[in-house]
Amino acid sequence: MRAIRVACAALLGMTALTLTAPVAAARDDGERNITSFGFNVSPTTIAAGGRVSLSVNGCKSATKVSSGVFDTVTIPKGQGSATATVDWDAKPGAVYEVTFQCGNESGHTDLTIATGRPSDPTHTPVHRGVKAGVGGSTGGFDLSEIGLGAALIAGSVGAAYHWSRRRAGEHGG
How many residues in total does the chain contain?
173
Query: Minimal CA–CA distance to 96: which of 57, 70, 68, 71?
Result: 68
Which pTM value belongs to this model?
0.50
The edge-to-edge listing of strands for the beta sheet with 38-42 is 38-42, 51-57, 81-85
Instruction: List the pLDDT tens digit at each of the 173 positions of the chain.
Output: 566 665 655 555 565 555 544 444 444 444 456 788 889 999 999 988 899 999 999 888 899 999 999 999 999 988 888 999 999 888 888 899 999 999 888 899 999 998 755 555 555 555 555 555 555 555 566 788 888 888 999 999 888 888 887 665 565 55
Q: What is the set of domains in the chain, with CATH numbers? A: 38-114 (2.60.40.10)
